[in-house]
Structure 1
Amino acid sequence: MSDTHVPTRMENSGQDASLNKRKQVQGSFNYFNGRGTPGLNDLTIIEGTSPDNKTYHLPVTDLRSLPAPLSSYTHEKNGFQIVRQPLPISPSPASVHDESVMTTEYYPAMTTLIKEALGARCAIVRKHSIRDIPSWAPIGMDPKVGFEIKHLAPFNIAHSDYTPSGARGHFRAMREPDWCNDHHTADGCASETEREEFFKLRREIIDAEDRAIAEAGIGPEVIEEDTQPRGGHWEWDGTNYDGPRYAFFSVWRALETVRRDPLAVMDMSLPASKKVEFAPLTRTYRNRSKCVPYYYSQNMMIRPIRSGDSDSGFEEEDDGQGDRHNWFYISEQTPEEVYFIKFFDSEALVRRGRGDDSLQLLCPHSAFRVADADDAPARRSVELRIWCVW
C-alpha cells in the first residue's frame, strides 16, 4: 500500500490539492491469455488452474485520490456507480448466513436502493453470494454446483460476468410463476404485485427480442447437448429492439472495512477501455430449480492487451490513453460504500446499433492481491445479482 495516508471517507472534495495526486498500488491480476475460444464448460479457467491463465502485475488507482467525488461515477458513463447506504443488517457471520435475514431484510433494502438510485420500475434479485474465506483451496470448485456454496473466496480473475447472450440465457431460463418462490424472493422480499409486474415485463422483453431477431433474419436458438449454442439471441447484436429497457447488476458491498483482496473496477469511459477484448466462456446449466431443464449462459473472460505480452513494468502514472487496462479501487472500502457494477444493459446495444457507444454495456472487474496484505483478515463481502427493468 502507499505510505501516504488517504482519508477514508465518501467524498474527497475540499482536500488540499497535494492530496488529490493520483495514488496507486501494485496489484496481481489473473487474465485469460489463450489465443482461441475457451472450450465448452472449461471451468479450469475460473478455477484458476488453466494453463491459459496468466498473472499480470498492474497499477491500480485509488479512486479516493482523484479529484472527482465517488458519487460522480455512474453506470451509464463509467460502467459502475457508487452510492452510500448504512448496512441495513448486522454484519455478523450468523446474520449474513441466515437465509431469512438476507431475503426478508437485505434483499428488499437493496432492491429499494437500486430502484431509487436508477429510477427503475422494478428490481428482482436473482441470487446472492458471500465471500468470507481467504482462499479456494479448502473447498475447491465443484462444476455441478458452481458458486452455490455458502463461503466463497475473492475471485481474482479479470472478467465481466456475462456476454449479452449469457445474460439473456439466464433471463429466458426462468420458469413462471414459481421462480421467485423457489429463489426466496417472494413474500417478505418482493410483493405479489412486484413479482407479477416483473414477469409481465419479462414476457414483453422476450417477445420484443424475438421480433427483432426474426426481423434480422436469424433462425431460432439451437440447443444440442455438449455443443456451443447457435442461432436465436446468440447470433443477435441487440439492435432494433423496441421493448422495455432492462439491465443486470451486481450490488456489491463490504461487510467490514476491506484490508486485503480489494475489488477493482475498470472505468469504461477511458480510451484504453475501448480496447478491452473478451473470450466467451460458454457454460451449460442442467436441472436448475424453476428453470428450463437445459440452457446456456456465457461468461466474459478478459484478455490482456497484447503490447509485447509484458508481465510488469507498466508506468506508475497513466491518464487512460495508454495501452494497458486502467483499474481502479476504493482504498479501505467500508460497508457504507456500495458498488453497482453493470453486467448488461439492453439500451447500450440499441444505441450501439445507431452508432452511439456513449452508454456503457458492462464493467470488467476483479479482486486483486496486494503485496504484504496476506496476513490481514479475510475480506468479507456480499454481492446481489439484480435484474432491473425501466
Structure 2
Amino acid sequence: MPRFTHCHRLLRTSAVQTPRDVLTSLYYFRALDDRAPYQYVHDPPAGIAKENLGVQAYPVKIDDARGREIEFTLDNSGFQFITHVSEERQFDDEQCIRTTYYREIVELLKRATAAKRVHVFDHTIRTKQTEIGQRSPNRGPVERVHVDQTFDAALHRVRHELPDEADRLLQRRIRIVNVWRPIHHPVAHKPLAVSDWRSVDKEHDLVPVRLIYPDRESSSFSVRYNCAHRWYYLSNQTPDEVILIKCYDSAVDRARLAPHSAFVDSGSSPSAPHRHSIEVRCLVFDTE
C-alpha cells in the first residue's frame, strides 16, 4: 500500500538538509499587442499567429521551504508539501498511470483535503524530450509564471467532465488541485516554484489567456510581475515528496490558487539528471 503522511512528518524526515534559497529569474507576462491574450493549443489557422503572449524575465528570490513545510497549506498559501510513497515508480505505462496511480491520487487528496469525491481529469509527464522514449512527445518544464485554469474555466471544467451532475456539484464547494511530484530521481534542474496566494494582487496580477482548441475553448491565467510575490520551492525534492498546487477554489475566504513556474537553479550540478516529473489535475468536491 502507498504510504501517506502530512507535512509535519516531512518536516521531521527532512530536517537534516540545510535549506538553500535561490536567486534566479522568472518569466512573467508581457503584452505583445492590444488584443486579448490568446494561445492556440494546437496548430492555428493559416496566417494566424499561434499566440500573442510575451514574457519578460525579472529577478526573484525563491525561498527554500525545506524545514518549514508545515507553514504552508492549501487554504492559507495555496500549496502544500506532503510525503507520499507511490507503488508506481517507472511511470512509463499509460494504463498503469490511469489505474494504479490515479487511484492513489484520489486517496491522497481525500485524506489531505477531507474531500468526499475526487475526479482525476488529466495528467502530464514532463522531461527532456530525448531522455526517455514515450509514445507521445514529452513536454518540458513550463518556464513561465502561470495558473492552470481561470475561475470561469474551472466551472466549465466541471460541466465538461461531469455534465449530468454539474448543476448539483456546483452548488457546493469545488476545487481544482494539481498533484506534482518528481519521478526516478530528486529534482536538480528546473525545480518547481510556487507563489504564496497571500502575496498576489488579485485585481492586477492575474491575466486571463484564451486557450483555443480545435473543438472548444478554455482559459488559464498568465501573471504580471509584482515585487511583492513570495516564492518557495523544496530543495532536492524526491519522488516521495509531493506538492499540492491549488488551481481553483470556489470558496472566497481562503487561498484560491497558487501561481507556479519552473526555474533555473544555477547551483545544480551540471552532471545531475534532467528533471522528470508528473502532474495530475483533479476536481475535488465536498459532496459525493
**TM-score, shorter chain, exceeding 0.5:** yes
Which residue of structure 2 aligns with residue 88 of structure 1? Answer: 87
Structure-1 separation of matches of 2:82 and 2:118: 17
The one of 22, 41, 53 equivalent to 1:25 is: 22
Cα displacement string for residues 59-96 of structure 1 (whole angstroms, at most 9, x for unaligned residues): 1110115xx3x134211111011121112212x3xxx1
1:389 maps to amino acid: F
Structure-2 separation of matches of 1:247 and 1:361: 8
**Counterparts of 1:20-99 in structure 2 under 5 Å?**
23-34=20-31, 36=34, 38-41=36-39, 52-64=54-66, 68=68, 70-90=69-89, 92=90, 96-99=91-94
Cα displacement string for residues 209-230 of structure 1 (whole angstroms, at most 9, x for unaligned residues): xxxxxxxxxxxxxxxxxxxxxx
The one of 252, 259, 270 equivalent to 2:188 is: 259
| Kept after mapping to 2: 8 A contact 1:134/1:154 | no
| Kept after mapping to 2: 8 A contact 1:130/1:150 | no
TM-fit CA distance, 1:40? 3.3
**Counterparts of 1:88-127 in structure 2 under 5 Å?**
88-90=87-89, 92=90, 96-127=91-122
RMSD across aligned positions (CA): 3.1
**Counterparts of 1:132-211 in structure 2 under 5 Å?**
132-133=127-128, 149-174=136-161, 200=165, 202-206=166-170
- Can you give the 5+ residue segments of structure 1 that lack an aligned partner in the other structure? 1-8, 136-147, 177-198, 207-242, 287-293, 306-322, 349-357
TM-fit CA distance, 1:369? 0.8
In structure 2, relative to structure 1, the CA distance for the partners of 1:372 and 1:108 (3 Å cut) is same
Which residue of structure 2 aligns with residue 382 of structure 1? Answer: 278
What TM-score do you get using the length of structure 1 for normalisation? 0.61
Identity of matched residues, %: 27
Structure-2 separation of matches of 1:14 and 1:122: 31
1:364 aligns to 2:268 (yes or no):
no
More helix by percentage: 1
TM-fit CA distance, 1:385? 0.4
TM-fit CA distance, 1:10? 2.6
TM-fit CA distance, 1:150? 4.6
Cα displacement string for residues 239-268 of structure 1 (whole angstroms, at most 9, x for unaligned residues): xxxx11111110111112111100000112
Which residue of structure 1 aligns with residue 3 of structure 2? Answer: none
In structure 2, relative to structure 1, the CA distance for the partners of 1:175 and 1:59 (3 Å cut) is closer
Larger Rg: 1 or 2?
A: 1
1:381 maps to amino acid: S
In structure 2, relative to structure 1, the CA distance for the partners of 1:49 and 1:371 (3 Å cut) is farther
In structure 2, relative to structure 1, the CA distance for the partners of 1:99 and 1:244 (3 Å cut) is same
Which residue of structure 2 aligns with residue 234 of structure 1? Answer: none
1:347 aligns to 2:251 (yes or no):
yes
The one of 198, 201, 205 equivalent to 1:277 is: 205
User: Aligned pair count?
Assistant: 264
| Kept after mapping to 2: 8 A contact 1:97/1:150 | no
Structure-2 separation of matches of 1:52 and 1:332: 31
The one of 315, 331, 348 equivalent to 2:235 is: 331
TM-fit CA distance, 1:297? 1.0
In structure 2, relative to structure 1, the CA distance for the partners of 1:333 and 1:15 (3 Å cut) is closer
Structure-2 separation of matches of 1:346 and 1:160: 15
Cα displacement string for residues 150-194 of structure 1 (whole angstroms, at most 9, x for unaligned residues): 511111100111110122222222365xxxxxxxxxxxxxxxxxx
Cα displacement string for residues 80-113 of structure 1 (whole angstroms, at most 9, x for unaligned residues): 11121112212x3xxx121111111100011011
Cα displacement string for residues 16-48 of structure 1 (whole angstroms, at most 9, x for unaligned residues): 9xx98x74112231111227554433669xx99
| Kept after mapping to 2: 8 A contact 1:38/1:279 | no
| Kept after mapping to 1: 8 A contact 2:86/2:104 | no
| Kept after mapping to 2: 8 A contact 1:249/1:342 | yes
Give the secondary structure class of the aligned counterpart of 2:98: helix
Structure-2 separation of matches of 1:260 and 1:338: 17
Which residue of structure 1 aligns with residue 45 of structure 2? Answer: none
Structure-1 separation of matches of 2:156 and 2:21: 38
Structure-2 separation of matches of 1:325 and 1:134: 31
Structure-2 separation of matches of 1:14 and 1:379: 20
In structure 2, relative to structure 1, the CA distance for the partners of 1:127 and 1:361 (3 Å cut) is same
TM-fit CA distance, 1:149? 4.3
TM-fit CA distance, 1:123? 0.4
